[in-house]
């Protein structure tokens, strides 16, 4: 069922309000990352790179229906190009962050090796959408005209080019989203298993402490020792060595686990925001087919 004029205007107003909030938030994020050194963590770096996609797609949303008056005009084509390129980039960056987490958990990548991948992520996350956006900008058909045109609320891929929306936008976006979700599922299983191992190690360490406390008794005998007596290795010493090793290992595992978990939490929240954004749009697109 087609939207009424009132409904369309209401959606455009809501869209511009939320886009304004998004632009402001993104500018704060960029300023914080640029001027606050403590914020430049490994997880925040990729989110910083992804923020430019959110900034430009929000700018396109701010244009709203202003470009619809002339579909072949520069403003309409510019808005369609921004939406096509930068709306896809966010899910791609979310997938790149998930790949980073996979490399940390399962390939033991350190910060230096991860930083060496940033240019590859940038090339893919901005390069691939640029190709599809540029194609849609330059291609035209004799009967249907240009690809960018009226799409109800703004200038984007026209309804007459519906299959292009699926293949050039929704399909790659959902491939990136599903790949990221599969990685988070695998990481979640790994975290659950490691946490169980850590709890078992903590329980073993506590049992060793309790046993060593109960055995610490002193006995005296009437036997007189000589200077040539042979000294056997003390079981207590071996136990203490084992306990000290576990005492060092348990906090070390806990520290590493916390670092990875914090990294995963921030990345997962970013993935959830992408999912919330694309599920309604995709359901609406399927409903309109």
Mean of pLDDT values over 173-194: 87
Q: Place 201 in a pLDDT band, splitting at 50, 70 and 90.
A: low
Residue 204 lies in a domain: no
Q: Place 289 in a pLDDT band, splitting at 50, 70 and 90.
A: low
> Which pLDDT does position 7 carry in this prediction?
84
Segments forming the whole domain that contains residue 126: 5-194+257-288
Q: Place 231 in a pLDDT band, splitting at 50, 70 and 90.
A: very low
Beta bridge partners of 148: 157
Residue 80 lies in a domain: yes
> Which pLDDT does position 207 carry in this prediction?
65
Query: How many domains does the chain fold into?
Result: 1
CATH number of 188's domain:
1.20.1070.10
pLDDT tens digit sequence for 47-82: 999 999 999 999 999 998 899 989 899 999 999 999
Mean pLDDT of the chain: 80
Residue 199 lies in a domain: no
Q: Place 232 in a pLDDT band, splitting at 50, 70 and 90.
A: very low
DSSP for the chain?
-PPPHHHHHHHHHHHHHHHHHHHHHHHHHHHHHHH-GGG--HHHHHHHHHHHHHHHHHHHHHHGGGGTT-TTSHHHHHHHHHHHHHHHHHHHHHHHHHHHHHHHHHS---HHHHHTTHHHHHHHHHHHHHHHHHHHHH-EETTTEESEEE-SSSEEE-GGGHHHHIIIIIHHHHHHHHHHHHHHHHHHHHHHHHHHHHHHHHHHHHHHHHHHHHH------SPPP-TTPPPPPPHHHHHHHHHHHHHHHHHHHHHHHHHHHHHHHHHHHHHHHHHHHHHHHHHHHHHH-
- The answer for residues whose C-beta is within 8 angstroms of residue 115's C-beta and 6 or more apart is 45
> Which pLDDT does position 279 carry in this prediction?
76
- Model pTM? 0.76
pLDDT tens digit sequence for 210-223: 666 555 544 444 44
Residue 212 lies in a domain: no
pLDDT at 244 over 90: no
pLDDT tens digit sequence for 123-136: 999 999 999 999 99
Mean of pLDDT values over 98-114: 90
Residue 231 lies in a domain: no
Residue 15 lies in a domain: yes
Residue 11 lies in a domain: yes
Residue 250 lies in a domain: no
């Amino acid at each position: 069922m087609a939207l009424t004029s009132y409904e369309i205007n209401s959606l455009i107003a809501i869209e511009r309000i939320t886009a304004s909030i998004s632009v402001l938030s993104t500018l704060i994020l960029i300023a914080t990352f640029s001027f606050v050194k403590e914020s430049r963590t490994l997880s925040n770096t990729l989110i910083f790179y992804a923020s430019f996609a959110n900034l430009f797609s929000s700018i396109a949303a701010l244009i709203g229906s202003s470009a619809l008056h002339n579909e072949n005009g520069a403003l309409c084509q510019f808005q369609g190009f921004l939406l096509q390129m930068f709306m896809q980039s966010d899910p791609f960056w979310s997938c790149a962050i998930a790949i980073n987490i996979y490399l940390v958990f399962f390939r033991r990548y350190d910060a230096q090796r991860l930083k060496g991948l940033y240019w590859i992520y940038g090339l893919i996350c901005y390069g691939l959408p640029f190709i599809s956006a540029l194609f849609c900008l330059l291609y035209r058909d004799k009967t249907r005209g240009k690809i960018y045109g009226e799409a109800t609320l703004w200038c984007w891929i026209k309804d007459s080019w519906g299959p292009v929306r699926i293949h050039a936008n929704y399909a790659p976006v959902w491939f990136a989203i599903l790949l990221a979700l599969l990685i988070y599922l695998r990481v979640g299983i790994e975290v659950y298993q490691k946490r169980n191992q850590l709890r078992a190690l903590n329980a073993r360490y506590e049992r060793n402490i309790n046993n060593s406390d109960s055995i610490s008794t002193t006995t005296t005998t009437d036997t007189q020792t000589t200077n040539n007596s042979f000294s056997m290795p003390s079981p207590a010493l071996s136990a203490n060595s084992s306990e000290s090793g576990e005492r060092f290992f348990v906090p070390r595992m806990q520290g590493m686990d916390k670092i990875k978990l914090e990294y995963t939490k921030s990345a997962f929240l970013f993935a959830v925001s992408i999912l919330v954004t694309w599920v309604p749009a995709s359901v609406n697109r399927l409903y309109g087919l």
